[in-house]
Amino acid sequence: MDTASFAELGLSSKVLEAVAAAGYTQPTPIQAQAIPVAVTGQDVLGIAQTGTGKTAAFVLPMITRLESGRARARMPRTLILAPTRELAAQVAEAFEKYGVNHKLTLALLIGGVSFDEQNRKLDRGVDVLIATPGRLLDHIGRGKLLLTGVEILVIDEADRMLDMGFIPDIEKICKLLPPRRQTLFFSATMPPEIQRLVDQFLKDPARIEVARPATTAQTITQRFKFCPDGEDWAKRDMLREIIATQEVQNAIIFCNRKRDVAILHKSLLKHGYSAGALHGDMDQSNRTATLDKFRAGEITILAASDVAARGLDIPEVSHVFNFDVPWVGDDYVHRIGRTGRAGRSGFAATLVAPDDLKLLQGIEAVTSEAPVWIGDAPTEEDFAESGKKRRGRGGKASSSGSRPNSSRGGRTRGSTSNNSNGKPDDTSAAAPPAAPPRNRAPRTERPPVELDVAAEPKDSRRRRTPRKSEVDIPGAGEQPTINAEAFRPAETTTNAPARRPRNDNNARRDRPDREQSRPRNDNRQDRATGGNPGGGPNSFHEGNLPAFLQRPVRTEKPTAEAPPAPQKEPPAEVDG
């Protein structure tokens, strides 16, 4: 289907004005075939290589369909799922660019951003919700989002979702959506797992395939450089040589590991390049700032992991360098797809170590092209020994005989030492002679110390040593003799009131002439004393109560004696 302009695709007038303002006049093949079908509401399965304009293929028809209707709080009208934060942010930028003539509300749910601002947007209601699967499920679990009002679902870079392990999350999200919806499914490759998703969640989709899956653009010049050494420092030297021979306007250098991205970034800065780093361990603010600097031209070279390999639309990237050969052939297609976009020419070079020769077979199977080498190509012997390497401690493969054993980031046992630049130091290749042993005098045995146990007193350790100040004082160190009579209270006269002693218990025991008082709880006292209410000598509380708790003994008041009852006289005896 060949079209001359966007006006023939069924888009609204407001969308056409925005497209013209953006400077686009002719649609790409995926846009020309997908937009007319998507405008009608039918499901679409789009298969196209990266950099062919898939984002606009679903953004433009979505804006046209969203012109009628209104969003409700916490119930978005459309949902777009993206595998990475950068790709989600790029889709949001596309909506802002093409929806400039519409009053559409948009929310971006990605990690590394506060939940509060995202919740405020959801509470006001959004027409377009763009999210990564993880953050979307977090909002759903918090009860802040309902997907029952979604009219259009877009899954972008589905094969990348599979690589990152998001397929279970995608299935869980799709089960929360209403069955009557439109689904737009875009992917660069179609592995069996992706095909299963299509069969499960799409209804009679229109299959649109503008190019063979996982093919590279014809505008990209691909080259490979063999590194016989295989060490990272040698690969960095070779990379700088290739950059010096090319007219690099801006470039992206891909590494397999985040650790290698950081090391390469420091090396580029050390050699005077304007470079930045982009990998998954960076927070969202730093990642966004780095991408903005790279787009603005403030950074010339960007060292990145595969987090930046897919979906990023960075215009006019002139060169792509693979510092490491990707482990999967599809990743190679996505990496070099950052250059040569929208019909522009691009250049891609890949550094190949001896242990990476096996990975070239996967790339050739995907691209169906034989590698073109810069300089000397690897020999048949190199290909034969590629799978016989032993991986060292640092993850770098090491040979069993031809090359010294080495690893990334340091020396291993038996390897040559490295200088400050990381290169082998020829002056220290030979092992230094072993130092002669030092002559030490033999140790002499000391005679054991004999202790006279009999002369030592038995309790000498427990005796207190007198202080220094007590040595000259007579009687110092002797235990004082306590006179109990000195602590007894003095006899007082009848005129002076008796002074209460400090310890009432002692005073009570020392003053037998004082009357013992009855305790407050008479019943307990009676039980304790065995029926002795007076608290006599056998009383349980004798001497245990202080004076302020004591009270006088209750005495019964004497009652007046009643007159004796008159005795009746015995009846008189009657005589006779």
- Following DSSP, what letter does each residue of 260-295 receive, concatenated? HHHHHHHHHHHTT--EEEE-TTS-HHHHHHHHHHHH
The CATH number given to 6-209 is 3.40.50.300
| pLDDT computed for residue 136 by the predictor | 95
φ, ψ (nearest 5 deg) of residue 216: -90, 155
Q: Please say whether the dihedral angle defined by the alpha carbons of residues 398, 403, 408 and 414, taken in this order, is positive or negative.
A: positive
- Between CA 535 and CA 540 the distance in angstroms is 8
Task: Please tell me the number of Cα atoms within 13 Å of 72 on its side-chain side.
Answer: 8
β-bridge partners, 483: none
- Between CA 332 and CA 367 the distance in angstroms is 9
- Between CA 415 and CA 431 the distance in angstroms is 10
**Interacting residues of 185 by C-beta distance below 8 A, sequence separation 6+:** 43, 44, 45, 46, 154, 155, 158, 197, 198, 202, 205
CATH number for domain 220-401, candidates 3.30.110.40, 3.40.50.300, 3.40.50.720, 3.30.1130.10: 3.40.50.300
pLDDT digit string (tens) for the chain, length 576 residues: 455 689 899 999 999 999 999 888 889 889 999 999 999 999 999 988 766 788 999 999 999 999 888 888 889 999 999 998 888 988 999 999 999 999 899 999 998 888 999 999 999 999 999 999 999 999 999 998 999 999 999 999 888 888 788 999 999 999 999 999 999 999 887 888 899 999 999 999 999 988 655 567 788 899 999 999 888 999 999 999 999 999 999 999 999 988 999 999 999 999 999 999 988 788 878 888 898 899 889 999 999 988 765 656 677 899 999 999 998 887 888 888 888 876 788 999 999 999 888 888 888 888 888 899 999 888 888 888 775 654 443 444 443 333 333 333 333 333 333 443 444 433 333 444 445 455 555 555 555 555 444 444 444 455 555 555 444 555 555 555 555 555 555 554 445 555 555 555 554 554 545 445 455 554 444 444 444 444 444 444 545 666 666 666 565 555 555 555 555 555 555 444
| pLDDT computed for residue 327 by the predictor | 86
Lookup: tokens for 269: 């800065």
| pLDDT computed for residue 274 by the predictor | 94
Task: Please tell me the number of Cα atoms within 13 Å of 505 on its side-chain side.
Answer: 5
- Between CA 12 and CA 64 the distance in angstroms is 6
Which residue in this structure is represented by tokens 């991408």? 291
- Between CA 22 and CA 101 the distance in angstroms is 12
| pLDDT computed for residue 433 by the predictor | 47
Please name the amino acid found at residue 394: G
Helix orientation angle between 232-245 and 258-270, rounded to the nearest 10 degrees: 60
Can you give 503-552 as a three-state secondary structure string?
CHHHHHHHCCCCCCCECCCHHHHHHHCCCCCCCCCCCCCCCCCCHHHCEC
φ, ψ (nearest 5 deg) of residue 512: -70, -20
C-beta neighbour count of 75 within 10 angstroms:
16
Helix orientation angle between 133-141 and 115-124, rounded to the nearest 10 degrees: 70
The CATH 3.40.50.300 portion of the chain extends over: 6-209, 220-401
Please name the amino acid found at residue 396: K
| pLDDT computed for residue 565 by the predictor | 58
| pLDDT computed for residue 407 by the predictor | 37
Q: What is the DSSP letter of 356?
A: G
Task: Using alpha carbons, list the distances in angstroms from residue 16 to 25, 54, 87, 342.
Answer: 10, 17, 24, 19
Task: Using alpha carbons, list the distances in angstroms from residue 454 to 451, 457, 458, 463, 464.
Answer: 9, 8, 9, 17, 20
Q: What is the DSSP letter of 252?
A: E
C-alpha 469: how far from its chain's center? 66
β-bridge partners, 374: 225
Tell me if 70 sits within 8 A of 92, measured CB to CB: no
Task: Using alpha carbons, list the distances in angstroms from residue 545 to 487, 507, 519, 525, 539.
Answer: 20, 11, 8, 12, 12
